[in-house]
Amino acid sequence: MTFRLLVALILMGVLAYGGVQLPLIAIQELMERGDLDGAMHAIADALEKRPNDPGILNLRGVVHARRAELAPARDDFAQAVKIDASLTPAWQNLARACQQLDQRECSIDAWQHVLQLKPADPEAHISLAQIDTEKQDFAGALRHLNAAKTEN
């Protein structure tokens, strides 16, 4: 998935949640140009107006992740899903961040929430299969791989 598509999907989730459209478009443009500092400033401005907007928090986590600041990214994603437990992109991002931080239980929990919201999510099944393989739970890994294969 290209970064542009990822940002577009995240922004669609933000916009669907009722975020402020113009600042989010500006943030997207800044991120596309690679101006992460500018994007972070625009996000800070947006959060001043809507401090508990889970979509904007999720977007700030994405900027942190792009900067390889995984712990703050994880914290933003976790805060976003605490506010809105139905925000699938934030759960996906939380799972990815936890996985990269080698926080297996956090990752498993987040991927399981993704599957509750989106049972056919192939990335969740494949990631859980990878985790099951690391735990030497090959039957569990096979179930997830079959589910990913069946659903897609």
Pair 20, 89 in one domain: yes
Provide the pLDDT for residue 150. 72
Residue 38 parent element (H or E):
helix 36-49
pTM value is: 0.81
User: How many angstroms separate the Cα of 125 from the Cα of each of 98, 99, 101, 102, 151?
Assistant: 16, 14, 19, 18, 10
Please check whether residues 107 and 128 belong to one and the same domain. Answer: no
Please tell me the predicted confidence (pLDDT) of residue 9: 47
Query: Are 73 and 95 in the same domain?
Result: yes
Judge if 66 and 86 occupy the same domain: yes
> 135 is in which domain, residue-wise?
119-152
The answer on 77 and 56 residing in a single domain is: yes
Report the number of distinct structural domains present in the chain.
Answer: 2
127-133's contacts with Cβ under 8 Å and 24+ in sequence apart are: 127/95, 127/99, 131/99, 131/104, 131/107
Per-residue pLDDT of the chain (152 residues; tens, 9 = 90+): 455 545 554 554 444 444 445 577 888 889 999 999 999 999 999 999 999 999 999 999 999 999 999 999 999 999 999 999 999 999 999 999 999 999 999 999 999 999 999 999 999 999 999 999 999 989 888 999 888 887 55
The closest of 101, 149, 143 to 122, measured between CA atoms, is 149
So what's the pLDDT on residue 151? 57
Whether residues 88 and 142 share a domain: the answer is no
Residues 55 and 130 in one domain: no
Q: Are residues 67 and 134 in the same domain?
A: no
Q: What is the CATH number of the domain that holds 57?
A: 1.25.40.10
**136 and 149 housed in the same domain:** yes
Please indicate, yes or no, whether residues 87 and 104 belong to a single structural domain of this protein.
yes
pLDDT of residue 19: 46
On whether both 108 and 133 belong to a single domain, the answer is no
Residue 95 shares a structural domain with residue 136 = no
Give the per-residue pLDDT at 7.
Answer: 52
